[in-house]
């Protein structure tokens, strides 16, 4: 069922709707606590296709200074080819 060739996917299914997650790289917009919109490109993450919930590694959120920010837009990036998986957390 889930014999994807990708290695060490940190999340398998959406915690809200149990939908399948699309692990990829995304161009995103985050709205921070001051309601400023900030764009980030080529963010590795996992998108729930049914409910549009984007999962981003918590450590990466901290690095980007996005604690408390909300993702308001995410689209799968077409500018990054499937090269290695930079910064992906090892499966626990
Ligand atoms: Zn979902």
From the CA of 13, how far away is ligand 1's center (Å)?
Answer: 8
User: Which three-class secondary structure state does DSSP give residue 59?
Assistant: helix
Around ion ligand 1, residues with a beta carbon closer than 5 Å are 14, 16-17, 19, 48, 51, 53
What pLDDT, in 10s, does the model give residues 15-24?
899 998 989 9
Contact 46, 29 (CB under 8 A): no
- Alpha carbon 48 to its chain centroid, in Å, reads 9
From the CA of 62, how far away is ligand 1's center (Å)?
Answer: 23
Structure tokens at 27: 């161009």
d(CA 3, CA 38): 35
* In the chain, % of residues over pLDDT 70: 73
From the CA of 53, how far away is ligand 1's center (Å)?
Answer: 6
Domain residue ranges of the chain, discontinuous segments joined by +: 21-76
Contact 58, 66 (CB under 8 A): no
What pLDDT, in 10s, does the model give residues 26-81?
999 999 888 899 999 999 999 988 888 899 999 999 999 999 898 898 888 876 55
Give the per-residue pLDDT at 3: 57
Whether this model's pTM surpasses 0.85: no
d(CA 80, CA 26): 9
């Amino acid at each position: 069922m889930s014999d994807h060739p990708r290695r060490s996917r940190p999340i398998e299914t959406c915690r809200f709707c149990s939908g399948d997650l699309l692990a990829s790289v995304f161009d995103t917009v985050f709205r921070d606590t001051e309601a400023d919109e900030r764009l980030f490109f080529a963010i590795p993450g996992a998108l729930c296709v049914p409910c549009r919930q984007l999962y981003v590694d918590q450590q990466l959120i901290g690095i980007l200074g996005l604690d408390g920010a909300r993702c308001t837009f995410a689209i799968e990036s077409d500018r990054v080819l499937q090269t290695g998986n930079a910064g992906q957390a090892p499966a626990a």
